[in-house]
Amino acid sequence: MIGLVTVVTTHFVFSLLALRIRRKSIAISG
């Protein structure tokens, strides 16, 4: 159960980081 929560949390964090990187790259290129 704890492992599942860790996986979900990690995936959520990486998703947020990906969105931030995309926004930064778009802002820089735009």
Q: What is the pLDDT of residue 26?
A: 77
Question: How far apart are alpha carbons 25 and 13 in whole angstroms?
Answer: 18
Structure tokens of 30?
């735009």
Number of helices and strands (H, E) in the chain?
1, 0
Q: What is the pLDDT of residue 29?
A: 73
pLDDT in tens, 1-30: 789 999 999 999 999 999 999 888 877 776
Q: What is the pLDDT of residue 11?
A: 97
How many distinct structural domains can be found in the chain? Answer: 1
Question: How far apart are alpha carbons 4 and 27 in whole angstroms?
Answer: 35
Q: What is the pLDDT of residue 7?
A: 96
User: Residue type for 21, please?
Assistant: I
Structure tokens of 20?
């931030």
> Which structural domain, as residue segments, surrounds residue 9?
1-30
Q: What is the pLDDT of residue 6?
A: 96
